[in-house]
Structure 1
Amino acid sequence: MRLADYLDFVCDPGRDDVEGWLYPTDAYLMGVINDLQTGHGFRGDIVEIGAYKGKSAILLGFFPAAGESLTVCDIFDSGAMVSDGNAQENAAFYPGLHQADFEKNYLRFHDRLPRVHVGPSEELGKVVAAGSCRLVHIDGGHTYEVARADMETARRALGSGGVVVVDDWSSAHIPGVAMALWEQYLSGELTPLAFTKGKFYATWDPAGLTAGEVADAVADRAGIEVRSVVRLGRYVAASVTMTLGDWQRYNAGLRAVYSKLYAADGGASAPQMVGF
């Protein structure tokens, strides 16, 4: 399968049966970041912190060029020691998380597994050299302590032109992620590039990608658009969404899927979905 085929898969709720929270807007936007990096000659490995069942890792698996690799970090069902807050979150939201499910899903789309590190992100230094990466996607634990550790791990791992993508940055029920993100911003070194409803894109490299470059590239990419350019303190960044037509098709597909589920559960109509 090619990257374009997987993007079509993610954009079709009737076909997309991989559990997870990767929506078309971010699938396209991460592709934009990858293309800009390779176009500028920025090289390095890819890291994902927090894989769940592999939906975004499958996407990232299409990005590494020759000599580059993907590393996935998660505790899965290893029984690794975590904080009480993180343990409560895992029990509430990810009770059926198994590494075998991740591997099964990933191998549906790729010939071989990425390197998998089972454990917290603080241990990634054992397998990922400092400055060796160009893209780190963070979707790990949502407590402040875990999110802060993940951000520090990303900062250490990223090299020239490196970009960090932070999931759940705007979710009000898990403020620890936003606290860890804005802490890095307030230090004066993390520069926003773009954001969606679900993910925040930024860089620590002042000589790396710029928000303007990202916005221009989004304007040339089918399926997504710059909804607005927002001032974030001393920086500006593009708010990126799906184009209206693409969202309407995606929403119709979601409603069809949910209508079947609701019909099997008493015949209630499917709710109107919120745009991404």
Structure 2
Amino acid sequence: MTSKILDEYIRHRRREVDGWLARCDAEIFARLLESQLDNGITGAITEIGVHHGKSFIPMAISNNGRLCYAIDIFGRQEFNVDISGCGDKDVFVRNLTKFGVDAKGVFIDERPSTEVTPSDIEGKVGKVRFFHIDGGHHHDVALNDLNLAEAVVSDNGIIAIDDVFRPEWPEVSMALFSYLARKTKDFVPFAIGYNKTYLCQHPFAELYRGILTSSNFLQLYFSKKYEISNEAILVYQVYAVPEWGLRARVMHYMKTYHPDLVFSAKRLLGR
């Protein structure tokens, strides 16, 4: 069960923070984060590319503001070669405070992620249970970030990476495929959200898939279970196509922009 504060944030208050976190992925974050704790999986949370905190805040709420490591170049935009976001540290810190996260408990690393080492992270917060990657969107940086995450995430932890399969950012997909071809640990994709892909080590994939499939809300988005290399990936995204009729287009719009209204209507109608 998600905590009341976390649930309120993902359902409503995340709109108060500038940035990108679709309702589908917000729900996936919350379900995974809180179910980790329910299953005795503890540790730090880490994000590359915190921007103004939109996706970092629910992670920090889940950890009660402790063992939080935030990586963002903020004002050092000369390192942002692909113009994939321009965060503001002061806004980020204010947003943490606004949502009850003590910024003093958050270690903020303002270096490019390519300069951050596993020992930097583990030395400050220890092993990581949930690592979200949303930094540089070109191949070498995204691949570096995946390798960094692999090195510090606990055996039962999760890596989430933003904008895989997005046509605007093809190098992120290329980086994930490069990582999977050369990985040194048994990380596998277990779910694809609105625009994030989720990985864990193979022995825990069934646990995390079960957590997601138990969510009635996520059934709004469920597209299919895709089998590849004897591994199942839950897909919670479809792309609108010109061949769709008006009904399908309207429903896709509603699920994207007014999902809680659609969910409430379906419950009311018993569907």
State the TM-score, normalized to the length of structure 1: 0.76
Partner of residue 109, structure 2: 117
State yes or no: 1:129 paired with 2:113: no
CA shift, 1:128, in A, is 1.2
Q: Is the 8 A contact 1:48 1:73 kept in 2?
A: yes
Q: Aligned pair in 2 of structure 1 residues 247, 60: CA closer, same or farther (>3 Å)?
A: farther
1:139 paired to 2:134: yes
Matched, 1:190 2:187: yes
Report the counterpart of residue 53 of structure 2 in structure 1. 54
1:84-233 equivalences in 2 (<5 Å): 86-87=80-81, 89-90=82-83, 94=85, 97-113=87-103, 114-122=106-114, 123-125=116-118, 127-129=120-122, 132-187=127-182, 189-203=186-200, 205-207=201-203, 209-210=204-205, 212-225=206-219, 226-233=222-229
Aligned partners of 2:237, 2:178: CA distance in 1, in Å?
Answer: 25
In 2, Cα distance between the equivalents of 1:99 and 1:250?
29
Show the counterpart of 1:69: 67
Q: Which sections of structure 2, spanning at least 5 residues, go unmatched? A: 239-249, 260-271
Contact residue 10 and residue 24 of structure 1 kept, 8 A = no
Alpha-carbon offset, residue 168 of structure 1: 0.4
Same amino acid, percent of matched pairs: 22
Amino acid across the alignment from 1:183:
S
SS of residue in 2 equivalent to 1:2:
helix
| Cα separation, partners in 2 of 1:59 and 1:65, compared to 1, 3 Å | closer
Are residues 1:19 and 2:18 paired?
A: yes
Structure 1 residues 160, 252: closer, same or farther in 2, change over 3 A?
closer
Tell me the distance in 2 between the aligned counterparts of 1:191 and 1:234.
11
Cα RMSD after superposing both structures? 2.9
Q: Is 1:138–1:166's contact at 8 Å kept on the other side of the alignment?
A: yes
Deviation larger for 214-223 or 68-77: 214-223
Deviation, structure 1 residue 240: 2.1
2:61–2:101: 8 Å Cα contact kept in structure 1? Answer: no
Cα distance in 2 for partners of 1:198, 1:75 equals 22
Instruction: Note the alpha carbon deviations across 1:157-198, whole angstroms, 9 max, x for none.
Output: 111201100000111221211111112222363211111130
Render the CA deviation track for 1:41-73: whole Å, top value 9, x for unaligned.
Answer: 22210000111111001111112169x511110
CA distance in 2, matches of 1:50, 1:136: 11
Specify whether residues 166 and 99 from structure 1 end up closer, same or farther in structure 2 by C-alpha distance, changes over 3 A only: same
Tell me the alpha carbon deviations over residues 90-119 of structure 1, each in whole angstroms, 9 at most, x when there is no partner: 3xx545x32112122222112411221111
Deviation for aligned residue 1:246: 10
In the aligned structure 2, how far is the partner of 1:52 from the partner of 1:65? 20
Deviations 1:227-253 (A, max 9, x none): 2101233422101259x9897376259
Larger helix share, 1 or 2: 2
CA separation in 1, counterparts of 2:19 and 2:231? Answer: 31
Q: How far does residue 137 in structure 1 lie from its aligned partner after superposition?
A: 0.2
Gap change, CA 1:3 and 1:104, over 3 Å in 2: same
Deviant stretches of 4+, over 4 Å: 244-247
Give the TM-score taking structure 2 as reference length. Answer: 0.77
Secondary structure of 2:236 counterpart: strand
